[in-house]
Structure 1
Amino acid sequence: MANTQLQHRYVHGLDGLRALAVIFVFAYHYGFSWASGGFLGVSIFFVLSGYLITSILLKQYDEHQKLLLPSFFKSRIRRLFPAAFFMVVCVVAWTVLFKPSLLSTLQGDAIAGLLYVSNWWFIFQDVSYFDSFQSPSPIKNLWSLAIEEQFYIIWPLLLLIGLRFTRKKKTVLFIISCGALVSALLMGALYEPGMDPSRVYYGTDTRSFELLIGCCLAFVWPLYRLSSKNVPSTGKFILNVAGLTSLLLVFLCTSLLNEFAPSMYRGGMLLVSLNAAVLVATISHPSSIIGKLLSFKPLRWIGTRSYGIYLWHYPIITLTTPTTEFGEFNYVHISLQVIATCFIAEISYRFIEQPIRKEGFKTFFRQTLPTFKPSATFRSHLKFAAPIVFVIFFLLFTLGVTGILEPKKTESKQPEAVHIETTAKPISQDNNLKEKESSAKEPSYTQVLSIGDSVMLNLADPLQETYPNIVIDGKVGRQLSEALNVAKNYAQFNEPSSAVIIQLGTNGYFTEEQLDELLKQFSKADVYLINARVPRQWETEVNEKLEKAAKESKNVMLVDWHTLGANHPEYFTKDGVHLLPEGAEQLTKLIYKAMLKSTDIS
């Protein structure tokens, strides 16, 4: 009897860990500086999922000498699909009614989400996880659920094959460990420093090691065999020190790391996952103090609803946050969004997740409405209204994913990349800047090159008016690392009579080495670095590197757009990054003044 109780022991501390993980992710999506590594909450979820699922499967195998795969798959579908389906239907319906401009993005995302292939869909569609400038998909967070569902389908089959053919769990453990190592090495091999890391971030192949680490833990620390009996005091001390240390490391990683650091993808996530495994192991043991600490009731409440909170927080943030507030903190709006997320997650948990998980789909649909009996009158109205509401939601969902209600595009879309080249002649011969101080005060460059991202595309018209001989090379979403190859096409600009304008850093971090390599390609020209005005967590680090480069090189000048732009929100579109015509004009003037100053003409 005691053994049976051990086998079915529920660990409340793991709910507390789920709560911390979802809070980290929530805070990361808000852009709080103390949660720059909050995306690692997903790594905790992956390790925990691998551990719990493998513990369940190993328990089945020990008891029955086989895996009960049909019941396992059925339980996973009951647990995951209903809440996700409910969320996707509601988001599509909301989008049809209030934000039809997102339908073109949402159609494929919704279908991929319900088929649990979102991560690969986003990879093949070249959708960045980290770029929120181009109308982010409100269900982009389904990528991680796709990885988990793919794992739930494939892993039991592989485990069964391994247990059948080897018979020795140590051999299976060794194979799993090798698989985890291969996945982690693949992440490091596919990662390109300075490039958007979304490919390795989304990939099932490059994230499997986190799940497999949890699987390994289940072999050496099976949940159903853990007991507080006969644990020596030394063992308890080591257990608790390990737990407290790993928890402290989780908080440090969450506050100090960021998603663009090369070290994250070259061993960093592996170490984070190993630390998460230590934390899961200590919490799972009945003798653990840390497990009792994380059993705090409010944490347990969040933890039991963490699936619904994770599902709903991202669409609520993206659909209800004005674009002017992305990267800013309106705490009234944030509070309302948190309350809405928790409220809807509670509704989902009580009336969808738990009933279907316990009773199944048939019983749920057969019993839910009949058992809800506030009054006879209300019941009769409900029986009449419920089918109508269902049909309306179904129609909105169908119309949304099929694109029938998608608004026709009447405006031309901004090109993703542009190359503009005009007939070259010295700037001093023709300069149409409206507010130059005098015709004598003009920088005398024979040619000008500008390389940038989508902000550079906003600058194209005023730059051409001011510098008729300019060559503009701009591309939406361009990282500084991509500009290294672009710059090789403009070797002719590396001469003293040339000016090179570089506007990069809007879309993420870059390394000092990459910036130095770019500047070396124009070592003979005058280079003007435009710092970033981007309400994202990488803004400060990017601007510090640009400022440092300008101080260290005589031919490099800083154009301080950040300071000017910070005081003039009217220069920007709603995202606070891209430029309105007035902003483009003002930045062009700032560049012009920097050129006047550097050429010492007065």
Structure 2
Amino acid sequence: MFAYREEIDGLRSIAVIPVILYHAGFTKFFAGGYIGVDIFFVISGYLITSVIEHECEQERFSIINFYERRCRRILPALFFIICLSSLGAYYLMLPEELKEYGETVISILCLSSNVFFWYKNDGYFSEINELNPLVHTWSLAVEEQFYFIFPILCYLLRKRKRCLIIVLIICAGISFFLCQWGGNLPLIFNHQFYMFSQPHYASFYLPTGRIWELLFGAFIAFFLRTHDLTEKTYRIVNEFFSIIGLALIIVSVIFLNSHRIPSFPNCYTLLPTVGASLIILFGQKNTLVGYLLSTRLLRFIGLISYSIYLWHQPLLAFLRLQSNRTPEIFIITIVIITVFLLSIFTYFCVEQPFRNKTRFTRKQIFSMAGVGSILILILALGLIQTANSRTAIAGNDGDTYLSDLRKYGNWQYVVRDFNQLAKRKTFSNESNTKLVLIGDSFAQDFYNIIVEGKYLSSYDIRVYYIYSRCQIYLGSQNRKQFIDVQHHQTCANDNDIKLALPLIRQANVILLVNNWYEWSARRLPMTIRLLNLTKQQEIFIVGPKHFGKVNPKLYINKTMEYRIKQFQHPKAETIKVNDLLERTIDPSMYVNVLRMICNGYNHTCPLFTREGKLISHDGAHLTKYGVIYVGNIIFQNKPLNRL
């Protein structure tokens, strides 16, 4: 029969603690902390399958009972924390953020928040998602989508176990194929193949690349139903493999840095999933690992792990939302302690009462789930309406801050004009001076400077985009050694200056505008030489800019006098790269934007123009007013004043 295992609760704590510390910013020692979710998937697959198998053997399995348990387990704490998070969102978020938050809540109710985040394409590891209070609910959506089909399949094939296992093995194989090589499917006809390729078909969020992790746990449950590994004859084997399993998890947490390995999930995901599987299989309580995981503290953390998981992201996100600065370790520590205290409260006062069948009947649970869903839907729609209303009334009191931010302080504004021009692949045959602008989002910013300031109106301009992660580089070294593994495929496509050479050959003026990394900045003189420009061609290098972290919501309802007094230090890494470029690039061609703009007290950067308009919405990219402000400065000074 299915028996409770204390060590599984301990394993839950091993999964949740790295996730919390990773999201809290302790990535130096917990670079792979995010793999805790993968461990949870294995545990979930094992526990759910064990229960289903046990009930099927006793011929008392019921789909209704199954979903009743899921409702009792998932919804009360989730609804409780969504409601409290909505208060924080209401007071701390800008209209656009609040609208997206409301849409996120609706996607959670539809069990599709993972699809929502995939569609938004922010990327789990991006700084944007650090500020999303509900981004972590993607994993709940993956599980619920899996459990929408899996128990039904188990029930239908309960008397044909071999057939069931074959079907699940095929599903696991397809899922693993998609997570490792799925992105190659659109490239079949091009005869291109990449070792790691997952966009669209098996991204981080979608269940297609995650099913195999849950099925790992299911296969363990099937195995342990017919094999007893608790006998003394297995003692040495159990000790050895459980230690190996724990070691694999520790290695994953420490070394699986998301910036150095391909996008999860992929074959690297086998490390934590196999590690968790080995512990579940062999880490019985009479082993050293089983004993450690069964200690009271780890078991207790495991018991409240669901509440911990739900609480940590909203608190950390709201902490970051209300400040321009990265929170200090002391503040982060206080937040983590608060997470644990709130989780204890939620576990005993919210989770446990609703799991008690004597306190709430099935009918009451389903009724409350339905009513709760409707109320939270109304709450989400209210937040979206509030966001729209705030935007609509912005400017009625003479302050256009919010409406300006919505129109010009976002990515759509940054990329709009550049992307339109990028569709034109060749110069016209007219005799105008030909200029090619090459680079990443900073080049998109620069083109906005040209458009808004009506500079270079006599030039025939073309643009070429190179993703920032790929950098502008020509040389004998293989640039893949400098690029994060997860971006190798992207950088192997169009994101290479070699493909812009036909435009460069035709141009009279070349502008390279990039968020230069140190490795590409050191090699930039060589890159310029290898362009083999003629004496008649001019080239200008525009350095990177970053005015420090900006939190636009801090300046809502502030006076113009207050705003124009806001200065802060630029990003240290950006200063370092600019200094390097100033030493190695001819001053007749180098533009140090940071030095020109950040000339306040102690070389600080203004956050607002003299008219009280926000210069940058994120510290790196410019609003419309920032574009005009920066353009007026850099085009009036050397060397761009020659154009």
- How far residue 306 of structure 1 moved from its aligned partner, in angstroms, is 0.9
- Distance change in 2, residues 1:107/1:474 (3 Å): farther
Name the CA distance, whole Å, in 2 between partners of 1:177 and 1:99: 45
Structure 1 match to 2:339: 341
- How far residue 268 of structure 1 moved from its aligned partner, in angstroms, is 1.6
1:452 paired to 2:420: no
Structure 1 match to 2:67: 73
Contact 1:571 1:579 in 2 (8 A): no
- How far residue 303 of structure 1 moved from its aligned partner, in angstroms, is 1.3
Query: Where do residues 365-444 of structure 1 align in structure 2 (5 Å cutoff)?
Result: 399-403=382-386, 406-408=389-391, 410-411=403-404, 412-413=407-408, 414=410, 415-419=413-417
Contact 2:49 2:218 in 1 (8 A): yes
1:121 paired to 2:116: yes
The farther-off stretch of 286-295 and 394-403 is 394-403
Identity of aligned residues (%): 22
- Distance change in 2, residues 1:191/1:483 (3 Å): closer
- How far residue 499 of structure 1 moved from its aligned partner, in angstroms, is 2.8
- How far residue 177 of structure 1 moved from its aligned partner, in angstroms, is 2.2
- How far residue 96 of structure 1 moved from its aligned partner, in angstroms, is 2.2
Name the CA distance, whole Å, in 2 between partners of 1:319 and 1:466: 41
- CA offsets, 1:311-365, max 9 Å, x none? 1111111112247556x45112202211222222122111110110123774699
Name the CA distance, whole Å, in 1 between partners of 2:596 and 2:337: 36
Secondary structure at the aligned position of 1:359 is classed as coil
Name the CA distance, whole Å, in 2 between partners of 1:177 and 1:392: 41
- CA offsets, 1:84-133, max 9 Å, x none? 11111221233224435332111210011122111112223334322223
- How far residue 30 of structure 1 moved from its aligned partner, in angstroms, is 2.7
Task: Specify which of 605, 611, 623 is matched with residue 570 of structure 1.
Answer: 605
Structure 2 match to 1:429: none
Structure 2 match to 1:243: 242
Contact 1:534 1:577 in 2 (8 A): yes
Name the CA distance, whole Å, in 2 between partners of 1:41 and 1:322: 25
Secondary structure at the aligned position of 1:119 is classed as helix
RMSD over aligned CA atoms reads 5.1
- How far residue 490 of structure 1 moved from its aligned partner, in angstroms, is 7.3
- CA offsets, 1:261-283, max 9 Å, x none? 22754422234322321123233
Structure 2 match to 1:387: none
Structure 1 match to 2:308: 309
Secondary structure at the aligned position of 1:163 is classed as coil
Secondary structure at the aligned position of 1:501 is classed as strand
- How far residue 498 of structure 1 moved from its aligned partner, in angstroms, is 4.4
- How far residue 299 of structure 1 moved from its aligned partner, in angstroms, is 2.1
- CA offsets, 1:149-205, max 9 Å, x none? 1122211011222333x243xx43333222111101112233488999686100011
1:173 paired to 2:165: yes
1:24 paired to 2:18: yes
The one-letter code sitting in structure 1 at the alignment partner of 2:383 is G
Name the CA distance, whole Å, in 1 between partners of 2:236 and 2:596: 56
1:485 paired to 2:494: yes
- Distance change in 2, residues 1:346/1:547 (3 Å): same
- How far residue 562 of structure 1 moved from its aligned partner, in angstroms, is 10
Contact 1:449 1:470 in 2 (8 A): no
Name the CA distance, whole Å, in 1 between partners of 2:593 and 2:249: 36
Name the CA distance, whole Å, in 2 between partners of 1:130 and 1:253: 17
Name the CA distance, whole Å, in 2 between partners of 1:154 and 1:48: 18
Contact 1:96 1:396 in 2 (8 A): no
Secondary structure at the aligned position of 1:449 is classed as strand
Secondary structure at the aligned position of 2:29 is classed as helix
Structure 2 match to 1:201: 204
Contact 1:116 1:146 in 2 (8 A): yes
- Distance change in 2, residues 1:206/1:542 (3 Å): farther
Name the CA distance, whole Å, in 1 between partners of 2:542 and 2:237: 53
Structure 2 match to 1:158: 153
The one-letter code sitting in structure 2 at the alignment partner of 1:278 is L
Contact 1:93 1:397 in 2 (8 A): no
Name the CA distance, whole Å, in 2 between partners of 1:561 and 1:582: 12
- Distance change in 2, residues 1:471/1:345 (3 Å): farther
Structure 2 match to 1:382: none
Task: Specify which of 443, 448, 461 is matched with residue 449 of structure 2.
Answer: 461
1:99 paired to 2:110: no
- CA offsets, 1:463-494, max 9 Å, x none? 97887759585989976437953765773124
The one-letter code sitting in structure 2 at the alignment partner of 1:570 is C
Contact 2:182 2:199 in 1 (8 A): no
Name the CA distance, whole Å, in 1 between partners of 2:149 and 2:579: 50
- How far residue 259 of structure 1 moved from its aligned partner, in angstroms, is 2.8
- Distance change in 2, residues 1:138/1:322 (3 Å): closer
- How far residue 21 of structure 1 moved from its aligned partner, in angstroms, is 1.3
Contact 2:449 2:627 in 1 (8 A): no
Name the CA distance, whole Å, in 2 between partners of 1:49 and 1:535: 42
Secondary structure at the aligned position of 1:34 is classed as coil
Contact 2:307 2:347 in 1 (8 A): yes
Name the CA distance, whole Å, in 2 between partners of 1:142 and 1:552: 48
- Distance change in 2, residues 1:119/1:397 (3 Å): closer
Task: Specify which of 46, 49, 58 is matched with residue 54 of structure 1.
Answer: 49
Name the CA distance, whole Å, in 2 between partners of 1:271 and 1:16: 19
- Distance change in 2, residues 1:578/1:54 (3 Å): same
Structure 2 match to 1:377: none
Structure 2 match to 1:318: 317
The one-letter code sitting in structure 1 at the alignment partner of 2:349 is F
Contact 2:106 2:377 in 1 (8 A): no
Secondary structure at the aligned position of 1:418 is classed as helix
Structure 2 gaps, min length 5? 185-193, 366-373, 393-402, 428-432, 471-489, 534-538, 550-570, 608-615
Name the CA distance, whole Å, in 2 between partners of 1:237 and 1:134: 45
Name the CA distance, whole Å, in 2 between partners of 1:268 and 1:547: 38
1:280 paired to 2:275: no
- How far residue 69 of structure 1 moved from its aligned partner, in angstroms, is 2.1
The farther-off stretch of 285-294 and 268-277 is 268-277
Give the TM-score taking structure 2 as reference length: 0.67
- CA offsets, 1:206-238, max 9 Å, x none? 11111011111111124x97463x322xx3222
Query: Where do residues 30-41 of structure 1 align in structure 2 (5 Å cutoff)?
Result: 30-31=24-25, 32-41=27-36
Structure 2 match to 1:437: none
